[in-house]
Amino acid sequence: MRPLKEQWMSAEAISESGARSDFWDGVRLSMPVVVASAPFALLFGAIAVDNGFSVLEAFLMSAMIYGGASQMVGIELFGQHVAPWLIVLSIFAVNFRHVLYSAGIGRRIAHWPVLQQALGYFILTDPQFAVAEARAVSGKPVGFVWYLGLGLPVYVFWVIESGLGAVFGKLIPDTHALGIDFLLPIYFLGLVLGFRKRPLWLPVVAASAAASIVAYKTVGSPWHVSIGAIAGVLLAVVLPPHHSGVGERP
Amino acid sequence: MSTTFWIILVGAIATYLTRVGGHLVISRFENIHPRVEAGLNAVPAAVLTTLVAPAVLGAGPAEWAALIVTALVSLRGGLMSMFLAGAAVLILARQFVG
């Protein structure tokens, strides 16, 4: 009886420590995202209050929408007294790219229990998708505990820093000298380059870059995101599948 | 309840629909067509590029320097070193170029 129990205990301990190390593995990978998004959370809070939001409303928007670019757009339009339905539609447009992330990551997390999946989709941001997808591509499993370790710190810091930004907003010094407005493109460039070993990477990036720039100049923001993305994805769809390495898979 | 609250609430629902919607639609299909799979594989690079390209176009020498250093560091380093190098170059360059 006793050896059996000890065996069971040690198996439990191993799986528990495995889960714990999975969690911290995710936390470690979340740190660049936490650092990169901090200025934007602070900036969002500051701009939100400046545009007529209360501190609580800025906090709530970060906690419920949890999508930086769309929150910035929403705040901007709110400050311009645009009709509420149009603000919501703009938030939807900026976030529409998540449909593609959702379809992509859905293949990796379909085996999770439904509630875990529901939570997983709630925290599915750009970097969350990029890092989780990169892990799946490298052949490692995308488990719930790891995924939560990756996403939870980003979420918690994002919401708290939004509130702090709202409270202390007007105290932020020269944001231009600190490069705050350009940190996000640098970060996204890093993510794009991280995918450079994928088949068709260069043609897809070139197509998306060209289409998004043209859309940005003509249709305007935020539609350049959806239009540019669709151009790159369409290119991969239209070219014969063997170019994408899909047919070569076992 | 205030208009602001309703904007936040409906915006949050719309956002969640985009995050769960792609999966709900795709998972209805038993087999994924190779072309669909090729398209899905292209998603991350395609979307993330659109968040960079227009910003690159509207940028100046300081930003370009930062992006070039980011790209060079990416050949060797990980995401964090790449980001910190780019950010450091940006802050430094802006002290001179503005």
Residues in B touching A234 (Cβ below 8 Å)? 39
Residues in B touching A235 (Cβ below 8 Å)? 42
CB B91 within 8 A of CB B66: no
A222: preceding bond cis by omega (within 30 degrees): yes
Of B29, B50, B56, which to mutate for an interface test with A (greatest number of A Cβ within 10 Å)?
A: B50
What are the tokens at B49? 């590029």
Residue A193 in any domain: the answer is: no
Q: Distance, in angstroms, between A43 CA and closest chain B CA? A: 17
Per-residue pLDDT of chain A (250 residues; tens, 9 = 90+): 445 544 454 555 556 677 789 999 999 999 989 988 888 898 889 878 878 899 999 999 999 999 988 898 788 778 878 789 888 988 887 788 888 889 889 989 999 999 999 999 999 998 999 999 999 989 999 999 999 999 999 999 999 999 999 998 656 566 666 666 687 788 779 878 988 888 899 999 999 999 999 999 998 876 788 889 899 999 999 988 777 766 544 3
Are residues A172 and A219 located together in one domain of the fold? no
Closest CA to A225 of A93, A133, A129, A126: A93
Are residues A148 and A222 located together in one domain of the fold? no
Name the domain count of chain A: 2
Which pLDDT belongs to residue A250?
Answer: 36
Which pLDDT belongs to residue A249?
Answer: 42
Which ipTM did the prediction report?
Answer: 0.81
What are the tokens at B5? 């609250």
CA–CA distance, A204 with B46 (Å, rounded to integer): 6
pLDDT tens by residue, B58-72: 889 999 999 999 999
Are residues A50 and A171 located together in one domain of the fold? yes
Beta strands in chain B (DSSP E): none
Are residues A55 and A167 located together in one domain of the fold? yes
Are residues A147 and A240 located together in one domain of the fold? no
Q: Do B47 and A101 touch (CB under 8 A)?
A: yes
pLDDT tens by residue, B8-19: 999 999 999 999
Residue A242 in any domain: the answer is: yes
Are residues A38 and A147 located together in one domain of the fold? yes
Are residues A202 and A164 located together in one domain of the fold? no
What are the tokens at A137? 């591509």
Are residues A68 and A154 located together in one domain of the fold? yes
Closest CA to A41 of A27, A62, A56: A62
Q: Which domain holds residue A216?
A: 198-250
Q: Do B18 and A129 touch (CB under 8 A)?
A: no
Residue whose entry in the numeric block shows the structure tokens 């740190």:
A31
**Residue extents of the structural domains in chain B:** 44-98
Are residues A162 and A222 located together in one domain of the fold? no
Residue A213 in any domain: the answer is: yes
Q: Do B46 and A99 touch (CB under 8 A)?
A: no
CB B51 within 8 A of CB A221: no
Residue whose entry in the numeric block shows the structure tokens 């170019």:
A243
Residue A8 in any domain: the answer is: no
Query: Which of residues A183, A209, A233 is at a domain's end?
Result: A183
Q: Do B16 and A70 touch (CB under 8 A)?
A: no
Are residues A113 and A234 located together in one domain of the fold? no
Residue A192 in any domain: the answer is: no
Which pLDDT belongs to residue A121?
Answer: 97
